[in-house]
Amino acid sequence: MQGIAGQAPALKWAVNIAVALLVIAWMVPTLGLLVSSFRDRDQISASGWWRAPIAVEMTFRTRADDTPARIEGESWVIEGNVLATSEVAARLQGGGARVTAFGLTAREPAAFPAGTQATTRDGDTLSVRADGSYRYTAASQPTGQAPRVYFAALTPPNLTLDNYMTVLTAQDAERRAAAEVRGVGFWQLMFSDGGIFRNFINTFTVTIPATIIPILIAAFAAYALAWMEFPGRALLIAAVVGLLVVPLQLALVPLLNLHNRIGIGQSFVGIWLAHTGFGLPLAIYLLRNYMAGLPRDIIESARVDGATDFQIFTRIILPLSFPALASFAIFQFLWTWNDLLVAKVFLPSDEASRVMTVRIADDLLGSRGGDWGILAAAAFVSIAVPVLVFFTMQRYLVRGLLAGSVK
C-alpha cells in the first residue's frame, strides 16, 4: 500500500503536465488566429503572428512620380517620395514606414542600402533615402513612363478591424467606402440582403432542427436498445457501432439522388434529414450506453407499479439522461454549425439559402483562399454561438461522455 500511495503524487504530476501541454497546444494556434484576425494581408504574408507588435519589413514596387524632369547642369533629375505614391500609400494606410533598402529589379528589391546611390544599365543613377525621398538622374530627358522603383521598408504594426468589417458586411474596404458615399452605413450593410446576417439566420435554420430531430429519434431508439427485450437487439447494436466508422462522403451522392427522386432535392428539409442520418449512430450509441447504466431497480419498480414503457421513458429515463442528451447536443450543434461539405451538397446554391460557412468559402477567402486575415476573423465571428452553447452545457459534457465507462 505504501508503494501505491507513493506513486500517486508522481501520477498526479504526470496528469497535470499532460493537461497543461494539451491546453498549450490548443491555445497557441487559437491565439495565433486571434492576432492574425486583426492584421492586414500584407503583414500576415511578411511575418508570423508572434511578430505582430514588432515592425515588419515589407517589399514594395512603385513608379516614380509623374513630376516633370528638370535640368541640373548636364543631367535631367526627377525627385519625389516613394512612400507618397498612391499604390504604396494604399498598402501602408497608417504611414510611419521607413525605407531600409532599394533595388533596380524585382529579383533584387533590396540590393542597395537606403541612402546610397545605384547605377542602372543605361548609366542613370537612383538613390532612395530612409524617409522615402528619392533622386533619379538621367543623362538625357526621360520619355514614356516613369522608372520603376523597388524597395524594402520597415512598417509599423497595423492592427485593424477591417477584417471583421469585411466578414460582417461581406464587402471589402473599397465597396464599403463606395457605400458610405451613397449614404449606406456599416449596420445597413450588415443587415441588408447581401450582408452576413441572412447567412447567420440560415445557419440557425439548419442547425437547430438538425440538432433536435436526431436527439428525439435517438432517445427512443436508445431506450429500446437498453431496456426492451426483442429479437435482433444485439444485431441492431452491432449495426449502430458499425455505422459509426462509415465515412459520410460515401452516402452524399446516393442520398442526394434519393432526395431528388422523392421530391425533396436541395432544400432545408433535405439537409435536416441528411444531418439526422449522419448524427443518429453516434446519438444512439452515446444515449444507449448512458441509459443502460441507470439503476435497474428504478425501472423494475416502475414496471411493478404498472408504468408503461412510454411512461418510464418520459418520466424517469429522459430526466435522468439529461447529461447524455446535453453532451450529444453540443457535438451535433458544433458539427452542423461548422459544416461546409453537407451544406454545399444539400442546400441550393442561390444567395438566399447559403449558410455562413458557404458564404465565407465562396465570397470572402479570395480565389485561392489566401486571405488569412479574413479567414481568422470569420472563424471568431462564427465561433461566438458555439462557444456560448458549449459553456452553457459543458458541465454535462464529461458525465455524458463517460456514460457506461464506470459501473
In DSSP notation, 138-150 reads ESS---SSPPEEE
The mean pLDDT value of the chain amounts to 82
Band of pLDDT at residue 1, cut at 50, 70 and 90 = very low
On the question of pLDDT at 406 being above 50, the answer is no
**Which sign, positive or negative, has the C-alpha torsion 370, 373, 379, 381?**
negative
Q: Which residue is associated with the grid cell 458564404?
A: 359
CATH of 196-401, one of 1.10.3720.10, 1.10.10.10, 3.30.420.40, 3.30.70.141: 1.10.3720.10
C-alpha neighbours within 13 Å on the C-beta side of residue 324: 28
Q: Is 186 exposed, middle or buried (0-12, 13-18, 19+ CB in 10 A)?
A: middle
Q: Where are the domains of the chain?
A: 55-155, 196-401
Question: 3-class DSSP state for residue 238?
Answer: helix
Q: Tell me the one-letter amino acid at 165.
A: M
Q: Residue 295: name the closest of 320, 327, 325 by CA.
A: 320
End-to-end CA distance of the chain: 24
Q: What percent of the chain has pLDDT over 70?
A: 90
Q: Is 249 exposed, middle or buried (0-12, 13-18, 19+ CB in 10 A)?
A: exposed
Tens-place pLDDT, residues 115-156? 888 888 878 888 888 888 888 888 777 766 667 888 888 888
Tens-place pLDDT, residues 303-330? 888 888 888 888 888 888 888 888 888 8
Band of pLDDT at residue 242, cut at 50, 70 and 90 = confident
pLDDT at 215 (0 to 100): 93
- DSSP letter at 106 equals S
